[in-house]
Amino acid sequence: MAGPVPELEDRAAACAERLHEADRVLLASHIDADGLTSAAVASSALERASVPFEVVFEKQLDEDAIARIARTDYETVWFTDFGSGQLDIITDYAADGGFTPVIADHHQPADADTEFHCNPLLEGLDGASELSGAGTAYLLARELAGYGPTESAGANERKSGPNPPTDPTMTDGGTVATTTRADNRDLAALAVVGAVGDMQASGGELHGANAEIVADGVEAGVLEPTTDLALYGTQTRPLPKLLEYATDVRIPGISNDQRGAMRFLDGLDLELRDDAGEWRRWGYLTADEQQTVASALVKHAISRGVPAGKIDGLVGTSYQLTAETTGTELRDASEFSTLLNATARYDRADVGLAVCLGDRGGALERARELLRSHRRNLSEGIDLVTTEGVTNEGHVQWFHAGDRIRETIVGIVAGMALGNEGIDRDRPIFAFAEKSDEPDAVKVSGRGTHTLVRQGLDLSVVLGEAARHVGGDGGGHDVAAGATVPAGREPDFLQRADELVGEQLGQ
C-alpha cells in the first residue's frame, strides 16, 4: 500500500509488520495534543487490526518511566511522540527486560538506534515543521491497514498483562466510530490536529509530509482545508471576542479593546447578531459575510498603520474536521488541539483520548470543563509574566514562575507571552517552573519563533546541551523544547544557554 510519505514507507512498513506480529502491545505516548492524537491514531489502527493493546501516558519519558514500562510483561512497546530522544536508555532496558521497542517519533534521536524506528529526521525531513508525532503514527497506521483484522482476536477482545503499568491514565483502546475506512485514511484528521497542536503550521499552513497527510484526509472526506482568518476561536467565540483576542496580529482599536471590536462590527452593513440579539460566530457566517468582515478588517489594519507583512498574517489555512459539528471546539483543528491540551496537561489524558476516539458524551463535557479552567490558568499566567516582566541576558530572556504556573503549561504561557509589552519576539524565551513530583528539580521550557529558526536557532540543541551541562537533560524541536535541571542550577543553565544561542544566531 503506497503511503503518503515515500521517504519513510520502508520504516513504517517494518514497524507495522512487527506490531501486527505481536500478541499484544503496550502503547506509550506523551501528554500534549500531539501525543494524545498519536495515541488515538495508534489505538485505532491496532483496534482495526485486532491487535490487543493497552495505553499508558507519560508526562516525561525519563529513566524512571522507561523502567516502569520495562517491568511490565509486554514483549512489544510502541512509543509515540517520544522515544527517539531516549533510545539510548530504551535500548538498554529493552535488552535487559526482553521487550521490543517500536518508535514512531519526530524528535531529535539520541546517539543510538533500534530496528523498528520511524522518524522523519532519519530520512532528511524536518520533524519540527514537516511531520508531527501523530503524523508519524499515521504512517504506521496506513501500513497496518494492509493487514486487516487478524483471525486470532475479535475486534473488541482485550488482554491485560499480569503486571500492567500503574499510571492512573491507562485506558483500554476504543474505536473511532464515525468515519472508519479500511485504509485508515480517516485517521488523517487526527494527525492534522496533532500537527497543528505542535505548532507546525508555520506561515499559516502545513507543509511537506504534513501536506500529504492533509491530502489523504481530503480524499477520505474527513478534512476540508480553507483559506480563512488566521484567528483562534472562529468556531466558538462570538465575533467581538474573536477580534478582541486577535493578538498575534495586533490591530489598534480592536485587539484587546472590547468596545473597539464591537464598534468595528456595528459599523459594517451586516446582520451580525441573531434573533435573540446575541453575536454570531464566524463559523456560522456565509462566505459573503466572511469576505465582507475580512476585507473591512484588512482596511482597518492598513488605516491604523499595521505593516503589510503583519497584515498578511491575518489570513491562513484552517483545517476543518468535516465529521464534527460546526460551532464546536472539534470542528477546527486548532481549537481541537487546545481542548486536548486542556485534558492531559491536567492529568486527564484518558479524557482527551476518549474524545479523540469518538466519545461525544461525558468525556467531551469533562474536556470542556477542563478547557474552561485551562483558559483561566493561561490568562493568569500571561498576566503574571507581562506584569512582572522578564529578565534579559545577552541573547535570551527568561522568567521563573516557581509554583505559580503549572509546569505542564509554563511553555504554552511563554510562547503566548512572546510579543507582549516588554517581551521581545526577536530573542527566545525560557520559562522555569517547579516540578510538583520532583522537589529537587525544575522544569524549563524554551520557545522561539520560526523567524529565529530561519536565522539558525535550534532550541533542541540549546536546551539539551545546557541542561546536560548542569546535570539535567532535555530536547525537543528547534522552535520549542524542554528540559529538567537540578533546582538551584538555573543561573549556570542560563549562562550556557545564552552562549549557545549567541553562537547559533551569530551574535
Going by C-beta distance under 8 Å and a sequence separation of 6 or more, which residues neighbour residue 170? 54, 55, 56, 57, 164, 350
Q: Where are the beta strands (DSSP E) in 265-370?
A: 315-321
pTM, whole model, 2 decimals? 0.88
6-145 belongs to which CATH class? alpha beta
Distance CA 507, CA 502 (A): 5
| Residue in the block written with cell 494492509 | 146
389-505 belongs to which CATH class? alpha beta
Distance CA 320, CA 331 (A): 5
- 362 is written with which cell numbers? 461525558
Q: Where in the chain is the domain with CATH 3.10.310.40?
A: 389-505
pLDDT at 204: 86
Q: For residues 311 and 297, is the Cβ–Cβ distance under 8 A?
A: no
State the maximum Cα–Cα separation within the chain, in Å, rounded to a whole number: 71
Work out the end-to-end distance of the chain between its first and last CA atoms, rounded to an integer number of angstroms. 49
What is the sign of the dihedral through the CA atoms of 171, 156, 103 and 192?
A: negative
Find the DSSP H helices in 22-178: 33-48, 63-70, 87-97, 133-144
**What Cα–Cα distance (Å) separates residue 8 from each residue in 86, 104, 117?**
20, 11, 10
- 28 is written with which cell numbers? 506509550
Q: Per-residue pLDDT tens, the chain, 507 aa: give them.
A: 578 999 999 999 999 999 999 999 999 999 999 999 999 999 999 999 999 999 999 998 999 999 999 999 999 999 999 999 999 999 999 998 789 999 999 999 999 989 999 999 999 999 999 999 999 999 999 999 988 764 433 333 333 333 333 333 333 333 354 568 889 999 999 999 999 999 899 778 999 999 999 999 999 999 999 999 999 999 999 999 999 988 778 899 999 899 999 999 999 999 999 999 999 999 999 999 999 999 999 999 999 999 988 898 899 999 999 999 999 999 999 999 999 999 989 999 999 999 999 999 999 999 999 999 999 999 999 999 999 999 999 999 999 999 999 999 999 999 989 888 899 989 999 999 999 888 899 999 999 988 899 999 999 999 999 999 999 999 888 999 999 999 999 999 999 999 999 999 987
Q: Where in the chain is the domain with CATH 3.90.1640.30?
A: 6-145
Angle between helices 459-469 and 490-504 (to 10 degrees): 140
Distance CA 411, CA 397 (A): 13
